[in-house]
Amino acid sequence: MDLLITTSTVAVSCYALLSTVYKGAQAVYAQPADVALTSDDLLGPDLWPSVDVIIPCYNEDPLTLSACLASVANQEYAGKLHVYVVDDGSGNRNALMPVHHAYVDDPRFTFIQLGENVGKRKAQIAAIRISSGDFVLSVDSDTTLESEVITKLAVRMRDPAIGAAMGQLVASNRSDTWLTRLIDMEYWLACNEERAAQARFGAVMCCCGPCAMYRRSSLLSLLDQYETQLFRGKPSDFGEDRHLTILMLKAGFRTEYVPDAIAATVVPDKLQPYLRQQLRWARSTFRDTLLALRLLPSLDRYLTLDVVGQNLGPLLLAIAVLAGFAELVVTNTVPWPAAIIIAGMTIIRCSVIAFRSRQLRFFGFSLHTFINIFLLLPLKAYALCTLSNSDWLSRKSATLPHESKKPIILANPIAKAYGTGSSGTAEPIQMAALTRDSSQLV
């Protein structure tokens, strides 16, 4: 009994100390810093870098995809812009055709149709290998961009030392449920505390997939490593954004966060898809932690604290909670020291966030403590024990009936189909002009 009490008290005390130091340093470094940027007023149209926007799409809702494409088409960007929409073997392709048709007359758009679902990573690479812009912007198909996102990211990326930059993420469906409101607050913290603090040292550890821009020359130098990532001898099929960011840092490039480049993405509105998402992210984080550890000696000491805080903190909290539950079951005594410390830290943290953000809604983020303790901590333990698995993740793969596995590339206004020759290289085949008749799209 005494051992359980001691274990719970010591673990929660260590957790409180670590969190205080880590979150305190994070709050300090997350404060906006003066960043010397090239003014966009000084750039003529010919000086703006060209940008390729790559949008992988798999079984997306047509209205959601339409909103995504419209936000990209309406970007206020003075440079050359080309958009590659990669349909990754969607089973609802017929429903998506009207969305594609809306951009038939826009020469900036190219649609790539894959015959089977190969995953986001390979869908991205299919477009990267045939595009040629100076920068590559990866956008999720359920994400909409504010009108100047590309401009703001491109301005920051003019520094040749920067290999990647991400914008600020918000939940587009924030007002739908209590869960979406909590997730939106999670995103605010992840962007404006965690990423903002990391960006102070040019080392954002994960440029998030919904809106991340890469320098093409840097990306091409890492593409083979990115494409062939293995874990325990098996191809890795998730965690693309985190792994690519770590590769950028490992290669010596800076990674940045641009808070005024705002992208709104659809977040889960029910617990099951939310937990599925968190499981995928937890596995990705654990998989890339070892690779990140090798970088730490070359980065600022704060980044070491960041990695320790994110990985050791949940472990200490889990030990404290388990010991507290054991104490409750064995002795029928409430572990008040641990409960009071956790409650006190929650109140203080939510108060600080509400003050920093000037938003009272963050007092409601205290509810996330219950989700973290009762759902996310067990989920992370399960993720750590099943790192080689990829079950309970995204939707199941689908191969379209009677369809070739070779990609079909539909460029506007002239469509081209790319087969794969015996040499393994893409061979362009001229096709008729694309029309609005869906029968000519496949």
Instruction: Place 340 in a pLDDT band, splitting at 50, 70 and 90.
Output: very high
Residues 93 and 74 in one domain: yes
37 found inside a domain: no
**Statement: residue 75 has pLDDT above 70:** yes
The mean pLDDT of 87-104, rounded to a whole number, is: 95
| pLDDT confidence of residue 94 | 95
**Tens-place pLDDT, residues 132-183:** 999 999 999 999 999 999 999 999 999 999 999 999 999 999 999 999 999 9
Provide the percentage of residues in the chain whose pLDDT is more than 90: 75
End-of-domain residue from the set 343, 365, 385: 385
**Tens-place pLDDT, residues 383-439:** 999 887 765 455 444 444 444 556 777 655 333 333 333 333 333 322 222 333 333
**Statement: residue 299 has pLDDT above 60:** yes
* CATH number of domain containing 245: 3.90.550.10
**Statement: residue 61 has pLDDT above 60:** yes
Element (H, E) at 234: strand 234-235
Residues 201 and 276 in one domain: yes
> How many domains are contained in the chain?
2
This prediction's pTM: 0.87
**Statement: residue 269 has pLDDT above 90:** yes
CA-to-CA separations, 395 to 41, 90, 117, 375, 428, in angstroms, rounded: 45, 11, 10, 22, 32
Q: 72: burial class by Cβ within 10 Å (0-12, 13-18, 19+)?
A: buried
Provide the percentage of residues in the chain whose pLDDT is more than 70: 85
Residues 14 and 82 in one domain: no
Residues 218 and 269 in one domain: yes
Residues 234 and 346 in one domain: no
69 found inside a domain: yes
**Tens-place pLDDT, residues 348-374:** 999 999 999 999 999 999 999 999 999
Query: Domain range spanning residue 344?
Result: 2-27+302-385
Report the C-alpha gap between 385 and 370 in whole angstroms: 23
Q: Are 63 and 142 in contact (CB under 8 A)?
A: no
Residues 20 and 137 in one domain: no
Indicate the average pLDDT of the chain: 87
User: Regarding predicted confidence, which is higher, 34 or 332?
Assistant: 332
